């Protein structure tokens, strides 16, 4: 079996850089605020909501609120719209553009133009191929392969699975899907009986799986690999009276997914789900913001800043009471789920990390800044 191992490039030097990403030397034109734009390639799911809320929150912390202005725009899944928005940001005098790119290549000309005008252009999560752009994100190959390896081993190398990707054509989706399918190709007794996109939307994922189950039936499905929807799929089975027959699910890290991994009865929504829950941390967004400002202040930053990808399996889920800054600091940032009364089940929960110590779960939920930050 081919393994695609996770790599972690948070070397001592990189960690030192991250630790130094507070307020830097002010730019020469200190009388003018730094113009920062956040360019979102899509909208409509809680992962992007959390990312943009965290960027808003970091811009309002004491280190930055008097230095920057922030404006956010969404391309709503349309590459041409994002190109036009980026061009308009440059014309409006952008100093920094922090972007989730809807395409790895379509935006390149606009990005190159921005760099040529002196704009610091940095992407988070979704990378582009334009060399002048900086990037912060996880290893997207491991994001597909890691959960796939877990599922293949959980099924002892055989069975029928449902395969559900994200938004087709995007770099994130392409790399995750390709890496996962490369893992499953090593197991000839694992059969993909349905292959469909989730659009990174829980409602869409539920609708797609409902159609698949209507055709195949639950009894002919042995496991699920999905970029969105493990908790929704679990609830579908519970509602169908199959709570004692839950199918193992490998997928992305919503709060409900992590809570479902907990032992039955320990909290609302806990089912003892056999699952691997990966996470593409939304805190990559505010870290990209911090790195870009640091670069504008004259610091050297890596072109590709890889951050660690959580891959939470049964027994590793740690529940926080509310995940405010005080609790996160007290628990050394170790919790990766909160009660459903605090954060919705569909909320992507990997929102805090020591590299963004100013923020907490409420920064992601509401865009707020913790007291004293």
41 lies in the same domain as 94: yes
The pLDDT of 92-105, averaged and rounded, is: 97
60 lies in the same domain as 112: yes
Residue 147 forms part of a structural domain = yes
Residue 329 forms part of a structural domain = no
Residue 339 forms part of a structural domain = no
Examine the fold and report which residue of 278, 296, 327 is the final residue of a domain before the chain moves on: 278
261 lies in the same domain as 299: no
Selection from 193, 259, 242, 182 nearest residue 222 by Cα: 193
Between helices 284-296 and 46-59, what is the axis angle to 10°? 40
16 lies in the same domain as 70: yes
Task: Please write the tens of the pLDDT for every residue from 117-152.
Answer: 999 999 999 999 999 999 999 999 999 999 999 999
Segment of 15-19, 23-27, 90-94 carrying the highest mean pLDDT: 90-94
Selection from 365, 367, 372, 371 nearest residue 58 by Cα: 367
pLDDT of residue 25 exceeding 60: no
133 lies in the same domain as 144: no
Regarding pTM above 0.85, the answer is: yes
Strand partners, 36: 70, 96
167 lies in the same domain as 272: yes
Distances (CA, A) of 335 to 105, 168, 259, 317, 331: 37, 32, 11, 7, 7
- For 54, residues 6+ apart whose C-beta sits below 8 A from its C-beta are 282, 283, 285, 286, 351, 356, 359, 363, 364, 367
Residue 296 forms part of a structural domain = yes
152 lies in the same domain as 134: no
Domain harbouring 244, CATH code: 3.40.50.2300
The pLDDT of 186-207, averaged and rounded, is: 96
Specify the number of domains making up the chain. Answer: 2
Give the residue carrying structure tokens 């169908």. 240
289 lies in the same domain as 192: no
Structural contact between residues 340 and 269, judged by C-beta atoms closer than 8 angstroms: yes
Predicted pLDDT at 23:
37
Domain containing 73 equals: 12-138+282-308
Examine the fold and report which residue of 278, 300, 323 is the final residue of a domain before the chain moves on: 278
132 lies in the same domain as 58: yes
Residue 321 forms part of a structural domain = no
Comparing 7-11, 213-217, 268-272, 283-287, the range with the smallest average pLDDT is 7-11
Task: Please write the tens of the pLDDT for every residue from 30-71.
Answer: 458 999 999 999 998 999 999 999 999 999 999 999 999 999
pLDDT of residue 237 exceeding 50: yes
The pLDDT of 158-184, averaged and rounded, is: 96
Give the rounded percent of residues in the chain with a pLDDT score beyond 90: 88
- Classify residue 5 by burial, with Cβ atoms within 10 Å: 0-12, 13-18, 19+: exposed
Distances (CA, A) of 188 to 157, 178, 312, 372: 8, 16, 26, 56
Predicted pLDDT at 332:
87
The mean of the pLDDT values for the chain is: 92
**Which of the four pLDDT bands, split at 50, 70 and 90, describes residue 16?**
very low
115 lies in the same domain as 169: no
297 lies in the same domain as 248: no
178 lies in the same domain as 111: no
The pLDDT of 329-349, averaged and rounded, is: 92
Selection from 273, 270, 137, 256 nearest residue 202 by Cα: 256
């Amino acid at each position: 079996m081919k393994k695609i191992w996770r790599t972690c490039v948070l070397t001592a030097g990189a960690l030192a850089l991250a630790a130094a990403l507070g307020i830097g030397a002010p730019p020469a034109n200190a009388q003018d605020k730094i113009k920062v734009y956040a360019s979102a390639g899509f909208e409509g799911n809680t992962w992007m909501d959390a990312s943009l809320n965290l960027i808003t929150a970091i811009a309002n912390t004491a280190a930055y609120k008097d230095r920057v202005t922030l404006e956010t725009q969404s391309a709503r899944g349309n590459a041409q719209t994002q190109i036009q928005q980026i061009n308009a940001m440059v014309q409006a005098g952008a100093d920094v553009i922090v972007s989730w790119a809807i395409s790895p290549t379509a935006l390149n000309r606009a990005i190159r133009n921005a760099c040529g005008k002196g704009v610091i252009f940095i992407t988070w999560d979704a990378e582009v191929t334009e060399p002048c752009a900086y990037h912060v994100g996880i290893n997207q190959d491991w994001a597909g392969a890691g959960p796939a390896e877990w599922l293949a081993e959980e099924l002892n190398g055989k069975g029928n699975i449902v395969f559900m990707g994200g938004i087709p054509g995007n770099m994130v989706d392409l790399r995750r899907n390709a890496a996962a399918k490369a893992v499953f190709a090593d197991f000839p007794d694992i059969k993909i009986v349905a292959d469909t996109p989730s659009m990174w939307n829980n409602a869409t994922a539920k609708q797609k799986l409902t159609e698949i189950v209507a055709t195949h039936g639950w009894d002919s499905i042995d496991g699920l690999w999905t970029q969105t929807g493990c908790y929704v799929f679990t609830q579908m089975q519970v509602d169908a009276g199959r709570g004692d027959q839950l199918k193992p699910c490998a997928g992305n890290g919503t709060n409900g997914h992590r809570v479902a991994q907990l032992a039955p009865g320990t909290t609302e929504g806990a089912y003892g789900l056999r699952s691997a829950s990966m996470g593409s941390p939304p805190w990559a967004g505010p870290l990209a913001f911090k790195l870009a400002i640091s670069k504008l202040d004259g610091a050297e930053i890596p072109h590709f800043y890889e951050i660690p990808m959580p891959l939470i399996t049964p027994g590793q889920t740690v529940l926080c009471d509310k995940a405010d800054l005080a609790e996160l600091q007290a628990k050394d940032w170790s919790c990766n789920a909160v009660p459903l009364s605090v954060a919705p089940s569909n909320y992507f929960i990997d929102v805090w990390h020591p590299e963004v110590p100013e923020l907490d779960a409420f920064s992601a939920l509401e865009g707020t800044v913790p007291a004293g930050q």
